[in-house]
Chains A and B, each alone.
Chain A
Amino acid sequence: MQQILKSAITDIRAAIAFRRVWIALAAEDIGDQHRRTTLGPLWLLINYLLFAATFIFLFNPNPADHTYPVYVATGLLVWYYLMEALSLAAGLFQREESFIRGTTLPISTYVMRTALQCLIRAGYGFVGCVIILVISGVVPTWSWLGALPGLALVILVTPAFIAIFAFAGVWFPDSQFLVGNFMRVGMFITPVFWSGAGEGGLRGFLYYFNPFTYFLEIARQPIVDGTIPWSALGLCAFITALCWVLALYLLGRFRRQVALIL
């Protein structure tokens, strides 16, 4: 086990040394995706705003509730980020096969490239979120700072999520389609634009037994309610630690085998 951990850490340290590679490639990825368009990456902002506006204007259960736009904007920001990370992760090593079989770049390089790409894309969503918060007229308070540990946890868990799903995709190539479909459905069964807090039945079940709920709430609740969801933070910290243990195991155990298995 010690050997596996050592191998994983060696790979991560090598990826840190190669940080210029994944930073450059992540930036190129974003640029390439919008290179021929007039608005470029601003489409990411427009996409976010369109989705948020749809939910805000069509699904608001109580139009008098001025916190609903804030609820949707913050929830959608985190959901979009996680959805993209997981969707890209499942086919990651297949997409990078020629690099993996042709260079000595550490496996973590591909994980970090994807994580950074998602973070950059989320940056445009973040701008959209700020725009909605300003338009909705909410006044920033010090309690909003309580969202920072939550956002930090969301960002911290992302490389682990990506590594786990990327390794799963090596042995189960169909997983990229399963994950893609699940994440599309997941948007509706996760409380992105609805809330099931305190409710029973199916909504309550989907709210409380969905781990994504807690990753959304740790970033959302301090802004919407002005309180810090300590129990959700604790649960997310536990899930994050668990995911990292699994990611480190997979990385240490299988990083050298990926090139042979692909």
Chain B
Amino acid sequence: MVAISVHNLGLTYELREKLSLAARDKRLPQAGGIISGNRRRRYVTALDDVSFELVAGDRLGLVGSNGAGKTTLLKVLYGIYEPTAGRVGITGRVDALFNIDLGFRQEATGRRNIVLRGLINGWTMAEIDARMDEIVGFSELGEFIDLPFKSYSQGMAARLAFAIATSLEPEILLMDEWIGAGDASFQEKAQQRMQRLADHAGIVVLASHQNDLIARTCNKVLELEHGRVRRFCSIAEYLTG
């Protein structure tokens, strides 16, 4: 039975000043959060005391303003960031749709890129072979699949990226915004696949700024503010304010 159990999760890290001869980089860390400490040692608290539990069938909408900690929380759940406090318990295979364009090689063919992306996703060669025809078919690339990726139009590249990224059967699906791709006709097909993915996954966690999407897809909402939970409630409670 798939489940996510997060207790008092915290992610704090030291903002290390990089040694550089160039002008100081004044940008804030990309993970967002609250900066504390003194001039010598500064710390970023990206997540603080976050707790929630999800069981099979739950669709959680992660909401909050930019820098609230939505993406950071997704990355902790996926295993990219390691929490510095609290406990994260996950039962089930986790797949994520973050940056679907990541890692495409311009000189390699579409088919070779499917293999490479599959390997990066942790698929075996047998799994890649089994999914190859379906990915090629869904992407509608036809004979272009054996041409270099650099020869693809933006729409073709987006279709291939989408076809590979969504060619999975996740038990737990993490999404940073709902993804779409291609022209109008493909968009509809992509929407249907996204809906099917979400319907078939045991648990979905979707970070989005689109309230209508959250209302349509999710049954629970976790609202974050400066890395802390503002409220964790049902979608009905969230919508009624």
Contact = CB atoms under 8 A, between A and B. Distances in A.
Nearest to A35: B107
A217 B66 CA distance: 57
A21 B128 CA distance: 13
Interface string B75-92: 100111110000000000
Nearest to A36: B107
Interface in B9-24: 13, 16, 18-22
A28 B105 CA distance: 8
B108 interface: yes
Nearest to B150: A35
A171 interface: yes
Interface string A84-100: 00000000000000110
B237 to A, nearest CB: 33
B102 A102 contact: yes
Q: Classify chain A: how many residues form its interface, as a range.
A: 20 to 34
B114 to A, nearest CB: 12
B101 to A, nearest CB: 9
A32 B21 CA distance: 33
A169 to B, nearest CB: 10
Contact of A104 (B21, B80, B106, B115): B80
Nearest to B79: A104
A41 interface: no
A32 B105 contact: yes
Contacts of A6: none
B107 A260 contact: no
B81 A20 contact: no
Interface string A234-262: 00000000000000000000001101110
A170 B82 CA distance: 18
B241 interface: no
Given A28-B105, A28-B108, A260-B13, A101 B80 contact: yes
Given A101-B80, A256-B81, A260-B31, A21 B20 contact: no
Interface in B115-129: 115-116, 119-120, 122, 125
Nearest to B128: A20
B142 interface: no
Interface of A is mostly: helix
Contacts of B105: 28, 32
A24 interface: yes
Given A98-B99, A171-B18, A174-B19, A260 B29 contact: yes
B80 A259 contact: yes
Contact of A174 (B21, B98, B119): B21
A32 B115 CA distance: 16
Contacts, number: 67
A18 B116 CA distance: 12
Contacts of A172: 18-20
B120 A105 contact: yes
A112 B122 CA distance: 17
Contact of B120 (A31, A103, A257, A260): A103
Contacts of B29: 260
Given A32-B107, A102-B102, A174-B21, A261 B116 contact: no
A257 B43 CA distance: 13
B37 interface: no
B20 A18 contact: no
Interface in B89-148: 98-99, 102-103, 105-108, 112, 115-116, 119-120, 122, 125
A25 interface: yes
Contacts of B120: 21, 99, 103, 105
Interface string B150-181: 00000000000000000000000000000000
A229 interface: no
Given A31-B107, A104-B79, A259-B80, 9 more contacts: A18-B122, A21-B116, A98-B99, A103-B103, A174-B20, A174-B21, A174-B22, A257-B13, A259-B81
Interface of B: 13, 16, 18-22, 29-31, 75, 78-82, 98-99, 102-103, 105-108, 112, 115-116, 119-120, 122, 125
Interface of A: 18, 20-21, 24-25, 28, 31-32, 35, 98-99, 101-105, 170-174, 256-257, 259-261
Question: Which 10 pairs of residues, A with B, have the shortest CB-CB distance?
Answer: A256-B82, A172-B19, A21-B119, A35-B107, A102-B99, A104-B79, A260-B13, A32-B107, A102-B102, A20-B119
16 contacts: A20-B119, A20-B125, A24-B119, A31-B107, A32-B105, A98-B103, A102-B99, A103-B102, A170-B18, A172-B20, A173-B20, A174-B19, A174-B21, A259-B75, A260-B29, A261-B13
